[in-house]
A and B are shown apart, each in its own frame.
Chain A
């Protein structure tokens, strides 16, 4: 538990630093962003491994999943490996939302929360459980943040994002609501958390497959 709290604290701190580095003179520093995302990833791994140890072994997720990489943003392999054997909750839209509320204290504040509307697309690629939903990249969140903050998103970044912008805009009210809820939960539990960044400016989730994928922040922001 201590480890989880510490990892969560470090993730929060990294998020804050990443947001803050954007406001510095001279623009975003690629090296600094890279280092922050490495720390975030390590903290996330630590958090997940601590969580795995803490939880009772549950029924593993059904193997009949068909992740379609073309349609969905990649999920990290380690999340799958750790979440699958330990967490047997069926990823479904509704339970995910309801489970988030009680877990608001636990999960890291980093990620934008998926609105329920989008999660149906994710059913087939259910590498995350409800509790860890915040740790898995949110397609909507990413698109949303990209649209809001980085006008200079590269073309290959945009190509990867499947949902049309109309859908993203429609999802935005849900996103903001869920983000607020999550953020306030986090702030309550860790008073040392940095001042709130607006949800839209939240750093992107740092969930990438283990093989050399960095977080979306680096991708979108450094898209020169």
Chain B
């Protein structure tokens, strides 16, 4: 129940084993072992030789599929790029685990709403994969107003030998058809097609911030600032409104919905977070309109930390259920909180992401960084073991959660070869830093996603930020942080220790080398 305390030890063994393989921008195929840093797309400025990146290349969402073999990214230009993990190959034993581009398609285009005279951005706000039920893959991608269901399928055979048309597709002359034949399937180069199967439009007045697929695999929710709608995947012309917090008089508006998610196992339970830092859990069985919450999670404000901007920084930017469904995690501007669904009064854990920014809130307000919406993610849930990756020397904390283990399926061995459950959470920060918190051992680490500081196949070095006073060697001082380099979107492989980190227009994929 206590706030996470930083351990002063410098041995962060998890970081030691993360490796990165860089690769050139023009080639999107990984060259080395492990996984590579992949530039999201070619970023040459028009007409110029300099490598300037375009605003449309900024990655706006990252999501692993349920199996982890596919990784989807969406960007501000409305494009979706899907990476696929290379299968194990005896001829190239080191290439296992590389992610290469699998498919690229334009998901959303800019639109213009004539009635309201405003442009609808094509930026992809969220991508959510559907569980795979056939050879094809399905994902939902959304911009501010419209959600689309995309089918990504492979085609590696082609029918040849038609009677009525020749190989080019032109119709054959009827006089030349003298015999009948049955077309036969012949192999062709693998082609990946993406086609929009459903378009769910015109249901949101405000900007969509979240989508979440339900555990029944038939419905999903979409949330905007004031309403949450429930859709059926097969029905596009109507949706059910299940949460509506719009006041009768808009002048009385005090909070908006910032994120929403379905429970991973209970298809009637959803949570949504608000700009006031509260989370509401709703049960759809209680009533058709879930304006009355079943549970209300709010941490009482610490009066000593109240400041001018405390209302803004308490806004929850992301909420994620743990894989077990017993816990949920919320991200506000300065911290990550883990909540037990059975306790509404306060979170069970609070991890400070970048507390050194608390004194800089005014400058962050000036450069708009205080409005950044960071996401957070849990580690995978598989029981895959890996040896000696972490040194799980338990700090003997009073936190009771070390034994629960039901959601922390990643095991690691400590001294003596004992296996322990490992639960970790990850979130981004500025200066291309991202943070990982090991909930079992109470260790945290700051890592950097950048080309300059990551050599191929080298391990990531933990970074430290010096909040004040004398700056030690290798520390970065708060004033030298680059606030334009922010990591808002991260994703963790559902089964293994592979993470994807989006740093503006670059995508970094790190893997635990101990595998």
Contact = CB atoms under 8 A, between A and B. Distances in A.
Given A34-B256, A35-B371, A42-B308, A154 B250 contact: yes
A219 B251 contact: yes
Contacts of B225: 30-31
B398 interface: no
Interface stretch (A48-56, A94-102, A171-179, A208-216): A208-216
B118 interface: yes
Interface in A56-105: none
B275 A34 contact: yes
A29 B250 CA distance: 14
Contact of B256 (A17, A31, A151, A219): A31
B444 to A, nearest CB: 28
A199 to B, nearest CB: 22
A10 interface: yes
Interface in A177-224: 208, 212-214, 216, 218-219, 222-224
B253 A218 contact: yes
Interface in B302-331: 308-309, 311-312, 315
Contact of A214 (B119, B253, B258): B253
A43 interface: yes
A35 B275 contact: yes
A46 interface: yes
Contacts of A157: 250
A31 B275 contact: yes
Contacts of B144: 26
A32 interface: yes
Interface residues of B, number: 35
A224 B368 CA distance: 26
Nearest to B143: A26
B205 A224 contact: yes
Nearest to B256: A31
Given A38-B312, A39-B309, A13 B118 contact: no
A121 interface: no
B250 A25 contact: no
Chain A interface helix/strand/loop/mixed = helix
A117 interface: no
Interface string A140-173: 0000000000011010110000000000000000
B250 A218 contact: yes
Contact of B251 (A25, A42, A218): A218
Nearest to A20: B368
B120 interface: yes
Interface string B114-152: 001111110100000000000000000000100000000
Given A213-B252, A214-B251, A224-B205, A10 B365 contact: yes
Nearest to B120: A26
Size class of the contact patch on chain A: 20 to 34
Interface string B370-386: 01000000000000000
B121 A223 contact: no
A103 to B, nearest CB: 24
Nearest to B115: A152
B312 A35 contact: yes
A110 to B, nearest CB: 16
Contacts of A25: 110, 119, 121
Contact of B311 (A13, A17, A38, A154): A38
A151 B252 CA distance: 21
Contacts of B366: 13
B229 to A, nearest CB: 16
A215 B110 CA distance: 30
A4 to B, nearest CB: 14
Contact of B206 (A17, A30, A212): A30
Contacts of B178: none
Contacts of A38: 311-312
Given A35-B371, A39-B308, A224-B205, 20 more contacts: A10-B308, A10-B365, A25-B110, A25-B121, A26-B118, A26-B120, A30-B207, A30-B226, A30-B253, A31-B275, A34-B255, A35-B311, A38-B311, A43-B308, A152-B116, A154-B250, A156-B249, A213-B252, A214-B250, A218-B253
28 contacts: A13-B365, A25-B119, A26-B121, A26-B123, A26-B207, A27-B118, A27-B119, A30-B206, A30-B225, A31-B225, A31-B256, A31-B315, A34-B254, A34-B255, A34-B256, A35-B275, A38-B312, A39-B308, A39-B365, A43-B308, A46-B308, A151-B117, A214-B252, A214-B253, A214-B254, A216-B251, A218-B251, A224-B205
